[in-house]
Structure 1
Amino acid sequence: MNMSRTRRERLVVIGGDAAGMSAASQARRLKGPDELEIVAFERGHFTSYSACGIPYWVGGDVTDRDRLIARTPEEHRARDIDLRLRTEVTELDLDGQRVRARDVDTGEESWTSYDKLVIATGARPIRPDMPGADAAGVHGVQTLDDGQALLDTLEGTRGRRAVVVGAGYIGVEMAEALINRGYDVTVVNRGSEPMSTLDPDMGCLVHEAMEGLGITMVNDAEVTKILTGDGGTSLLERSRELGGSRVRGVVTRDREFPADVVVLGIGVRPETALAKAAGLPLGPHGGLLTDRSMRVRGHENIWAGGDCVEVLDLVSGQDRHIPLGTHANKHGQVIGTNIGGGYATFPGVVGTAVSKVCDLEIARTGLREKDAHRVGLRFESVTIESTSRAGYYPNASPMTVKMLAEHRTGRLLGVQIVGREGAGKRVDIAAVALTAGMTAEQMTTLDLGYAPPFSPVWDPVLVAARKAAAQVRGTLSRG
């Protein structure tokens, strides 16, 4: 009698961090090694780590690098995942259903076939196309390897002058980290205020707080050149390897800022060169386009997730690139469930993010004013001042809340919060309201927890909602 065993499928995963290894792990939970072989490629030294924690490791708040690692390579391998570190995928052959991979250390190349493919290549720091951008002492910070390289530079540098280029989340967090390490920090920012994820009037509050910490803020300034030279102050061995090309300063149109180390915090781009070369669909921001199951559009056996994809913005209805670990882990769970024979979808996001610079908490969700203008929405905008606790309770701290509500309908469009302890996570109230499609009027009746140590009797978010609802009613009464 002819007894034939069913051939097990092979899943190939490109990328060993949040989305990729979450997908691999979830698929393994649902299908054992006799049904599904899993091969994962990671070009770095680490897997399943918190990239969001890197600034706090660099700054010394997290003292042990390994505390950022959620699951080690050995733990993945123990679950029958063939994880290949220091191996970079260099080519996708979609017709042949195979990938070409290169050993980063030896240069040896080989092809690996797949039945199902997950692309989780992440994002890469934007490195400006200008002289000196690749010099020793100039760092982007996206991976654990990047963080280690920056720490090696800081420990080998005698000078104490740092320039951070850009004032988004990474720029602001790295400025704090460098201040904590005793550096004199200058942040050179192309925008009118730091944190372009906020409206400028809210970014101004961040500007004031940063300068209060001793950080020099230079706004409306674009770096045009990174100065290099052997200088003799640091990184001598590496300088010789690079022919003396190490950083000594940055130049804007009208000023020069000396620097012993430069950190690039001007944002990231989806790492989709492989996907583009293979002809996979990309969105307006360069990220892969997927359906709600995280399957790449038009490709039955290819999924993508994490910082290399674009996702649906539930407020604007448009695709956006929002590189956050929270999304990446959810994408991986959805992908692994679908590959493992289950069913899951990722509906989209409202663009919630929270950060801090020392004790100042910064949060946003939904649309900024310019986002609303771009998609053709008319809106009412209100800003209120309140406190984190009842005013009479000890250590109540000031908080500013800005809210956008759609003209006439009152639908919540976005919220921004800047304040001290207790401010940042209040944005979650607004995130839930946005996801539910609530109006400002409906928000005013939310049954939130209250006690004097935690909030005023009217929570600051609800104070903003009351003011926004009144403004909407006012426009309706005026016709």
Structure 2
Amino acid sequence: MRERLVVIGGDAAGMSAASQARRLKGPEELEIVAFERGHFSSYSACGIPYWVGGDVAARDELIARSPREHRARDIDLRMRTEVTELDVPGQRVRTRDLESGAESWTGFDKLVIGTGAQPVRPPLPGIDAPGVHGVQTLDDGQALLDSLTALETDGATGVPPAGARPGARGRAVVVGAGYIGVEMAEALLNRGYEVTVLNRGPQPMATLDPDMGRLVHEAMDGLGITTVGDAEVTAIRTGSDGRVRAVATADAEYPADVVVLGIGVRPETTLARAAGLPLGGHGGLLTDLAMRVRGHGNIWAGGDCVEVLDLVSGRERYIPLGTHANKHGQVIGSNVGGGYATFPGVVGTAVSKVCALEIARTGLREKDAREVGLRYVSVTIESTSRAGYYPGAAPMTVKMLAERRTGRLLGVQIVGREGAAKRVDIAAVALTAGMTVEAMTALDLGYAPPFSPVWDPVLIAARKAVAAVRAAE
């Protein structure tokens, strides 16, 4: 008897699961119906800042597989269709066609929830004014680009707006200084805007410790991006035409022709919550190692709507990244299709950049270690990306945390120029393997002057951490 798999969400986790399940089971065994409320499927949201900034020439370059391509693989992907209700006991979902308004029920034998995340959009005065943009989806990216194009067309005379620096196309304010915030600041700077970043915390990149965040702050200032810390936004000011004209904080007002929200995201689990599915402390769905929703044998979930196990702290965390979503989808699809796969957890690795500055982190920050009761030592070293005498050697700062007494590696943060960010992968592997910093010092890493000093910066940090662990005994 043919079963029906219903997938909610047409991006990374959902469509990876659908595609993998289809590889394992043909349409005569498994019918696959997927619902996506947007206009696009299987795309890279991480690439939106680079599309806006001009590094990626066209929107379609961010799309891995179109609805037509999915349908050609016997996946019934229904676009612009929103799931409005999940009936778990009845094994069915209610949907609404966003073009016609028609509603219907669709039954399922197996269900995959890949509803992703929703951007944090605080209920501030003026938050929905024209010219205020989030950047969560391709639709969001297109809306922002349309807004920028309109501004640039209106300003084609080359005369900057009143109060803007000479030569600027306009004034952009980015609210939030996490990954999306700093990447969008770079994109807007590259387009010729005068950019101000307003951050609620004292330093940008709260995923780093404050001392490493300060390095990012200094670099952004050096690029001409005005970065304001401890700036709590209180309102979006609008002009007589209703469009955004400024962003207000408790202490100041910042003129703006366009505003980009980079405050962060939270799990989109509205359907799951209403259906009584188990949620964690961060609001994400809870799953087992097979990505099956706990307590429900025929429902799986993956991507930005779930919480994952942190292998370093042993606790559940919310880390919305496309890398995890695609892995979740592969695991889910294998299990739905009759195979077997598990997702053991993460160590929290992420990289980003703002212009030439590269930013990376993995494992725990000092704050994280304290929260879970770990005693630790921390060390910071300065090194270079290549042998110091080789042309193009660039500075790099590495911070490393290790557990007291045991010397177990707990976390690494890196800020530097070309060649810095991907070095964090050394630490990610070491964290996953549960290595000590002393064991790391013997890692047989590749060396040649164009690629590294004779002692790689990560290993220099490990040597210093070994000394700190011994001194703390």
The answer on 1:96 being equivalent to 2:90 is yes
Counterpart among 105, 110, 114 of residue 104 in structure 2: 110
| Equivalence map 1:214-293=2 (5 Å) | 214-231=224-241, 244=242, 246-293=243-290
Offset, 1:230? 3.3
1:56 partner amino acid = Y
**1:31 corresponding residue in structure 2:** 25
The alpha-carbon deviation at position 254 of structure 1 amounts to 1.1
- Corresponding residue for 2:400? 403
Give 3-state SS (helix, strand or coil) of 1:22's partner: helix
User: What SS class does the counterpart of residue 83 from structure 2 fall into?
Assistant: strand
1:386 corresponds to: 383
**What letter is aligned with 2:293?**
V
Deviates more, 1:154-163 or 1:43-52: 154-163
- Structure 1 letter corresponding to 2:225: I
2:124, 2:208 → 1: CA distance? 28
In structure 1, C-alpha distance between the alignment counterparts of 2:2 and 2:239, rounded to whole Å:
57
1:131 aligned to 125, 144, 148, which one? 125
The answer as to 2:161 corresponding to 1:167 is no
Alignment correspondent of 1:3: none
The 1-side partners of 2:126 and 2:411 are apart by: 39
Matches within 5 A, 1:356-395: 356-395=353-392
| Helix, strand or coil at the partner of 2:233 | coil
Counterpart amino acid of residue 129 in structure 1 = P
Query: Which residue of 1 is the match for residue 189 of structure 2?
Result: 179
1: CA distance, partners of 2:195 / 2:372: 37
1:294-305 equivalent positions in 2, closer than 5 A: 294-305=291-302
Please provide the CA RMSD for this pair.
0.7
Match of 2:164 in 1: none
**Cα distance in 1 for residues equivalent to 2:256 and 2:99:** 32
| Deviation string, structure 1 residues 46-72 (Cα, Å, up to 9, x no partner) | 111111100000000001111111111
Q: 1:188, CA displacement in angstroms?
A: 0.3
Pairwise CA distance, 1:229: 2.7
Q: Distance in 1 between matches of 2:174 and 2:108?
A: 42
Alpha-carbon shift at residue 213 of structure 1 (Å): 1.1
The structural deviation recorded for 1:439 is 0.5
Residue 348 of structure 1 corresponds to 345
1:323, distance to aligned residue in structure 2 (A): 0.4
Structure 1 match to 2:166: none
Q: What residue in structure 2 maps to residue 448 of structure 1?
A: 445
Cα distance, 1:282 vs structure 2: 0.6
Deviation at 1:228, TM superposition (A): 1.7
Cross-structure match for 1:22: 16
Deviation at 1:475, TM superposition (A): 1.6
Give the secondary structure class of the aligned counterpart of 1:224: strand
TM-score by length of 1: 0.95
1:295-326 alpha-carbon deviations (Å, 9 max, x no partner) = 00011110000000000000000000100000
Q: Which residue of 2 aligns with 1:46?
A: 40
2:423 aligns with 426
SS of the residue 1:361 aligns to? strand
Q: CA deviation at 1:137?
A: 1.1
The TM-score normalised by the length of structure 2 is 0.96
Secondary structure in 1 matching 2:259 = strand
Name the SS for the 2:177 alignment partner: coil
Any unmatched runs of 5+ in structure 2? 155-160, 162-169
Q: The residue matched to 1:84 in structure 2 has which SS? A: strand
Further displaced range: 375-384 or 136-145: 136-145
After superposition, what is the alpha-carbon deviation per residue over 1:14-43, rounded to whole angstroms, capped at 9, x for unaligned?
A: 000000000000000000000000000000
Q: Which residue of structure 1 lines up, in the alignment, with residue 199 of structure 2? A: 189
Q: 2 CA distance for matches of 1:472 and 1:83?
A: 55
% identity of equivalent residues: 82
Q: Secondary structure at the match of 1:413?
A: strand
Helix, strand or coil at the partner of 1:365: strand
Q: Quote the offset at 1:107 in angstroms.
A: 1.2
Size of the aligned set, in residue pairs, is 457
Cα deviation for residue 124 of structure 1 reads 1.1
Amino acid at match of 1:65: R
